[in-house]
Chains A and B, each alone.
Chain A
Amino acid sequence: MRLEGNVTIHAAREKVFDFLIDAESISACVPGLDTMEIIEPNKKFHAQAQVGLGTVKVKFDVDIEWVELDRPNRALMKGHGTAPGSAGDVTAEITLLDGPDGSTEINWWADVTIAGTIASLASRLMKPVSKKMTKTFFDCFAKQIET
C-alpha cells in the first residue's frame, strides 16, 4: 500500500529536518506510542506502539532506522514491526523544499506492507488507519514545531 502527501510547516528547513529525526521530539507526535528507545541517536530506534483506531488497536514492536539522511533535503526511513501473527514493513521518504515566507514544504511517501493475521482479517481497515495516523502525526508535528 502506497501512501503519500504533503504538508507545509511554518519553520525553516533545518529546523524541520532536525525535529523530524529527533526521537524525543517525534515521540510526542506518534499516535499510540507507548515507549521509544534510542538505539543510535538520530539513526536507530526501537518503539512499542498501539496501531489502530479508537477501540481497535494492535500492539506493535517496531524497529526504525533512518537509512539515508541528507540534511536538510531528504531522509529515507525503514521500519519493521511485529505483532502476534503479523508483521509490518514501512519504507518512507521525506523530501523538504523551501516554501513561501520561510516555510518548509514536506513531501512524503510511504510504502506500507502488512503481513499475516492483520492483512487477512483487517484489510478493510488498513487504509483508513494509515490515513488517520499520518494525519494525526503531521497535525501534531506542525503544532509542535510552529510553537
Chain B
Amino acid sequence: MKPAAFEYIVPDSLEQALSILQEHGEEAKILAGGQSLVPAMNFRMLQPTLLVDLNKLEELDHIRRNEAGDLLVGAMTRHRRLEFDNLVAQYAPLLHESIPSIAHPQIRNRGTLGGSLVHADPAAELPVIALAVDAQIKVQSIGGERTIPSVEFFQGMFTTDINPDEILVEVAIPESSARTGWAFKEIARRAGDYAMMGIAVRITLDEDGVCEKACLVYLNAGDGPMEAVEAAKILEGQPRDDQAFEAAAEKASQDEIDPLGNMHANVDFQRHLANVLTLRALDLAFQRADVDRGENL
C-alpha cells in the first residue's frame, strides 16, 4: 500500500498553481484534503505523475458574505470549519446540518469543500447539498474565471464540468428566502460510513403555508446527486399534507432516483429507505418553514 512515485509541488499562490496546471494538464492532480485521492494513490489505483498541493493557499480558505447576501466559501475550507462556523449555521443551515454526517472528525479535519465537489462521488454529502441550495461554483484558470450553477457542474459519477487547467476556487450559496424550511437525513450502516441513502430537502412556503418551491436531492441514488424534480412538483402548490408527502416520496423513490445497489443495501432497500427518509425530511422541513412563517406549533 505504497503509492507509485510522483512529483510534488506546493505553490505559494493561486496564480502559480494555475500556471502549473496550464503546463501539465491532465498529468497533474490537485491535492486538497486528500481524503479520497491519497487512499486511491496508496492502492495504486491512481498514479498521477504530479501532485499540486493547494494547502498553502490561504486565499482559498474563507467564509464570508457579500453584499447580495450570498455566503461565499473558499474551496480549501475544511469540513470541520464548516461544521462550527456561525455564518454557515445561520445562512446555510442545510449545509450546517449535513456536515456531521460526513465521515469522522479525523476526515473532516482534512477534507475540503472544493475537494469533495470536484471529486463528485455520488455517495458524498456536499454535492447533494450544493444542488439543493443552488450553489454557484466558481472555477478559475490562467485564462480567467467562470461561474457554474451546481445543476450544470455535476455531470455524473466522478465527473464535473471542470477542465484540467481549472481550479475550483469558491462556492457561493444564495441566501434563502423567507419561510424556507430544510432537512438533511441519511442512513449509514455505522456513524460516518457512506450512507445507504440520503436526502436533502428545501422547501419555501407562502404566507398561507402553501409550498411555493420544493427541492429534493438524494445521495447514493444514482450516478451523481439525484434531484427529484417531479416529486417537487407534486409538493408545489400544496399545503403541509400527508398524502402529498406520500405521493412525492413514492414518485421520487420509485421513479426519479436510480440507485445502483451495493453489498450494504440492494436497490429495493435503497428505494425503500429513500421513501422513508423523504417522509421524515419533508415533515421536518415543513415544520421548520412553519416556524419561520411565525406559525406557533
Contact = CB atoms under 8 A, between A and B. Distances in A.
In the complex they form, do A and B come into direct contact, defined as C-beta atoms under 8 angstroms apart? yes
Interface of A: 52-59, 83-85, 117-118, 121-125, 127-129, 132
Contacts of A123: 262-263
Interface of B: 4, 29, 40, 43-47, 118-120, 123, 155-160, 223, 260, 262-263
Residues of B contacting A: mostly:
loop
B157 A54 contact: yes
Contacts, number: 55
Contacts of A127: 260
Nearest to A85: B44
B45 A124 contact: no
Nearest to A125: B157
Contact of A121 (B45, B155, B223): B45
A42 to B, nearest CB: 32
Contacts of B4: 84
Nearest to B261: A127
Residues of A contacting B: mostly:
mixed
Nearest to A129: B157
A125 B260 CA distance: 9
A124 B40 CA distance: 14
B158 A53 contact: yes
Nearest to B223: A128
A52 B120 CA distance: 14
A135 to B, nearest CB: 11
Contacts of A54: 120, 155-160
A53 B157 contact: yes
Contacts of B47: 59, 84
Given A125-B157, A132-B156, A132-B157, A56 B40 contact: yes
